[in-house]
Amino acid sequence: MIEIEINGKIVSAEQGSMIIEVADQHDVRIPRFCYHKKLSVAANCRMCLVEVDGVRKPLPACATPITQGMKVFTRSKLALDAQRAVMEFLLINHPLDCPVCDQGGECELQDVSMGYGRDISKYNLGKRAVKDHDIGPLIETEMTRCIHCTRCVRFGKEVAGLHELGVMNRGEHLEISTLVARTVTSELSGNMIDICPVGALTSKPYRFTARAWELSQRPTIAAHDAVGSHIYAHVIHNEVKRVVPKDVEAINETWISDRDRFSYEGLYHSDRVLHPKIKRNNKWENVDWQSALEFAAEKLQAIKPDAIGTLASPSATNEEFYLLQKLMRTLGSPHIDHRLQEQDFSDQADFPLYPLMNVTLDELSQADVIMLVGSQINKEQPIVAHRIRKATLNSGQVLVVNPIDYKFNFKVARKEIATHGDIFKSLEKMLKSDLVKKAKQGIILLGAQALHHPEAANIRALAASTPMKLGFLTSGANSAGAWLMGAVPHRLPGGVETSGKNIQQMLNDHMKAYVLLGVEPEYDVQDSGKAYNALKQAECVIAINSFQTHAMLEYADVILPVTPHAEMSGTMINGQGIAQKFSAVTEPQGESRPAWKVLRVLANLLELKGFDYQTLEDVQKEVAQNCHPALVAGSGKMLNLNRTPQQVRGDSFVQLPKLVRIAGLPIYAQDALVRRAESLQKTSDGIFTGVRINANEAARLGLKAEQVRVTQNDVTLTMPLVIDDTIPDGVVYLPSGLRETAGLGAAYQVIQLEQVNHA
């Protein structure tokens, strides 16, 4: 540490720090445009010029390192004259269209110009105009406003890992544009809206819908992956208008994914159920809550409890999981599961108390070896992918074992792409590499395609046999909470062993009744065809959901409308094991109600004891008593209840068929809300292009890049064929969770392709 003087005050700071960093640490405001604490120093706007004693000219505070005894003046005449001159220069070509700019009221240029600008300009020539480029459905461009700070360019290159925007031309012709006239595709692209200091990049879905000073800012937690990013919802007239990140360094830093940012659009989709509905004589009708709940209770009472199965979304809250399993088990049905995508449960008795990454995000950023197994991490959990990218920039090595040669936004040291989807053999080979043996801070992360594999237990066992830490990249926002709350058939809350049927057994046995909490089985369940058939044949299906689907209207008997996360309060446990409380940011729409209230009243109508809760806090206190005291506080501390995974000695690896389907939920099909976010569905990741296969397999099967018939589990669909040489031999890539693929079977099952012959 060294001492310097800023505006007459002596302060201490680390040697090598820049003047602007030290000033920020001690609440000394220096104007800036190009500087951002998470980006490299560009020093091209010059707005942060300050006076340094002994130096004749002003120096940029963002690019001047401190030295012992340095004296800095940020408000001297020399500094202010320099800052005002820069401000005048920046405004020469700015259009000054604040009244119609979405950035108005929260614009850095606007704020700084009020303090450093002139009321009259000495320049009276015409201003420069720049042509706008369409860079996709999420970001609106007004490049005439751009002041060339290059924050967006540096963000793409340094944080997103995709150099999609760049500086074109020179001098007065300089402009920011996409490099090859294409859309921006990064999963983190929306962060460019936040860091743009002017109105050059704004939110396209939010455009012209509200002004900044009209909005109420309310904190909450994103509920689409196990990161649990902290966000602010901006609300007006009880409607979420946009979502922005809240800085929490240990979790999402200052970034959020586009999925977290734009999914709010789904709240107002036409599929939203706003009134309780029951089906009588095969016709749906809206009813009041009392009638709907009595109808549901009568249906459940008419069926033997052991014949009832329950499926819950992995993104439900702790309180919802707890009450759901308590209701069903008190009723006499132990069959409850949230593991909608999993196929192998043979090692569940030896599973950790609840699945975690087993490493903090900060530790992940410092890991020397990270092995990803069965994961397209940048599409599954973009913020975790960002941390892995930081590790590679810190000399960390990334190893990949995948069924498909996915593209990542970080450098991969070595990869093994599994032929026929045989991840197990590829993992065996990778574990013998020198990088694994020499790892000092190594972590193996099992992703969705490893955890959902039909031989997942053997993959877990093999991964656990190394000295490296083993972590799980679980599905949904609260899989950890589901395990701890008892939303699995073999454990009660707190991990007490019991027994019940898992999701595969429930679907195979064709239960007489199903209770669904936040689940759309035709999209969310691994084998969507099997799930749909089981529900169609059931005597009763009770859907406790925020949305309805066409299939749901066929198989359900009652739909109880519950609020999504934006309209409710609760607790979730993220992948680091941190319990996070959040509160509703808007009032419930229509007659929808929080699920915990619906479950409480339903239990009372079923005359079950122990459901006399008055408030959500009453539920949380009981949860804490039965699970863990830290949960009632939701203080952001890790629970530290994870057990070391035990190695399971399973049978020899099952030989997979010659042509298998690799599936997985696309980034914008992860849950019901995201599937209904219109802007996200218009992105390149949201548009379904067809079934993918490599050129060799296409030639072997006599297929052309046209329409093909896809058959799986006696269901045949027609769709486009895409030739993609990132797909290995013996593999067909066809995602699940989509309307275009609903009804087909599970991943790693046999699939058939046949050319459609046009007349």
Q: How far is CA 647 from the centre of its chain?
A: 30
Non-local CB neighbours of 594 within 8 Å, separated by 6+ positions: 562, 563, 567, 568, 569, 588, 616
Q: How many CB atoms lie within 10 A of CB 123?
A: 11
Q: How confident is the model at residue 504 (pLDDT cuts 50, 70, 90)?
A: very high
Q: Can you give the pLDDT at residue 631?
A: 63
Paired tokens of 355 = 């699945």
Q: How confident is the model at residue 118 (pLDDT cuts 50, 70, 90)?
A: confident
**Structural domains present in the chain:** 2-90 (3.10.20.740), 124-268 (3.30.70.20), 277-346+499-637 (3.40.50.740), 356-472 (3.40.228.10), 660-755 (2.40.40.20)
Q: How confident is the model at residue 395 (pLDDT cuts 50, 70, 90)?
A: very high
Average pLDDT of the chain? 92
Q: Can you give the pLDDT at residue 722?
A: 95
Q: Can you give the pLDDT at residue 131?
A: 87
Q: Can you give the pLDDT at residue 640?
A: 45
Q: In what order do the strands lie in the sheet with 71-73?
A: 9-13, 2-6, 71-73, 49-52, 59-60
Burial class (CB in 10 A: 0-12, 13-18, 19+), 304: exposed
Q: Can you give the pLDDT at residue 492?
A: 94
> What is the per-residue pLDDT across 297-337, written as a single tens digit (0 to 9) for each?
999 999 999 999 999 999 999 999 999 999 999 999 999 99
Q: Smallest Cα–Cα separation from 544: which of 556, 527, 535?
A: 556
> What is the per-residue pLDDT across 742-757, written as a single tens digit (0 to 9) for each?
999 999 999 999 999 8
Q: Can you give the pLDDT at residue 180?
A: 63
| Beta strand segments in 392-496, E | 397-402, 414-417, 442-446, 469-472
Q: With 90 as the cut, is the pLDDT of residue 170 above it?
A: no
Paired tokens of 308 = 């009832």
Q: Can you give the pLDDT at residue 689?
A: 94
Q: How confident is the model at residue 420 (pLDDT cuts 50, 70, 90)?
A: confident
DSSP 18-66: BHHHHHHHTT-----SS--TTS-----S-TTEEEETT-SS-EETTS-B-
Q: Which residue did the predictor score with more confidence, 646 or 540?
A: 540
Q: With 70 as the cut, is the pLDDT of residue 688 above it?
A: yes
Q: With 90 as the cut, is the pLDDT of residue 370 above it?
A: yes
- In 3-state terms, what secondary structure has residue 497? strand
Cα–Cα distance, 326 to 754 (Å, whole number): 48
Q: Smallest Cα–Cα separation from 739: which of 678, 692, 693, 687?
A: 687
Long-range contacts of 325-330 (CB under 8 A, 24+ apart): 325/485, 325/486, 325/487, 325/492, 325/493, 326/486, 326/493, 326/603, 326/610, 326/611, 327/599, 327/602, 327/603, 327/606, 327/608, 327/611, 328/515, 329/486, 329/492, 330/603, 330/608, 330/609, 330/610
Q: With 60 as the cut, is the pLDDT of residue 56 above it?
A: yes
Euclidean distance between the first and the last CA atom of the chain, given in angstroms as a whole number: 80
Helices 77-90 and 108-116: crossing angle, nearest 10°? Answer: 130
Phi, psi for residue 531 in degrees, rounded to 5: -65, -45
Q: Classify residue 332 as left (phi > 0), alpha (psi -120 to 50) or beta.
A: left
Paired tokens of 136 = 């996709």
Q: How many CB atoms lie within 10 A of CB 758?
A: 6
CB contact at 8 A, 102 and 208: yes
Paired tokens of 316 = 């439900």
> What is the per-residue pLDDT across 147-169, written as a single tens digit (0 to 9) for each?
999 999 999 999 999 888 888 88
How much is the average pLDDT of 406-435?
92
The enclosing H or E element of 201 equals strand 201-203
> What is the per-residue pLDDT across 201-230, written as a single tens digit (0 to 9) for each?
999 999 999 999 999 999 999 999 999 999
How much is the average pLDDT of 489-514?
95
Q: With 50 as the cut, is the pLDDT of residue 198 above it?
A: yes
Long-range contacts of 536-539 (CB under 8 A, 24+ apart): 537/510, 538/510, 538/511, 538/512, 538/513, 538/514, 539/303, 539/512, 539/513
Cα–Cα distance, 639 to 631 (Å, whole number): 8
DSSP summary character for residue 240: E
Q: Can you give the pLDDT at residue 713?
A: 86
Q: How confident is the model at residue 652 (pLDDT cuts 50, 70, 90)?
A: very low
Cα–Cα distance, 587 to 280 (Å, whole number): 30
Cα–Cα distance, 667 to 675 (Å, whole number): 9
How much is the average pLDDT of 467-474?
94
Alpha helices in 61-107 (DSSP H): 77-90
Q: Can you give the pLDDT at residue 127?
A: 86
Q: How many CB atoms lie within 10 A of CB 287?
A: 17
Q: Can you give the pLDDT at residue 284?
A: 96
Q: Longest Cα pair distance anywhere in the chain, in angstroms?
A: 89
Q: What is the CA radius of gyration of the chain?
A: 28
Alpha helices in 75-224 (DSSP H): 77-90, 108-116, 151-155, 191-195
CB contact at 8 A, 61 and 74: yes
Q: How confident is the model at residue 83 (pLDDT cuts 50, 70, 90)?
A: very high
CB contact at 8 A, 313 and 670: no
Q: With 60 as the cut, is the pLDDT of residue 687 above it?
A: yes
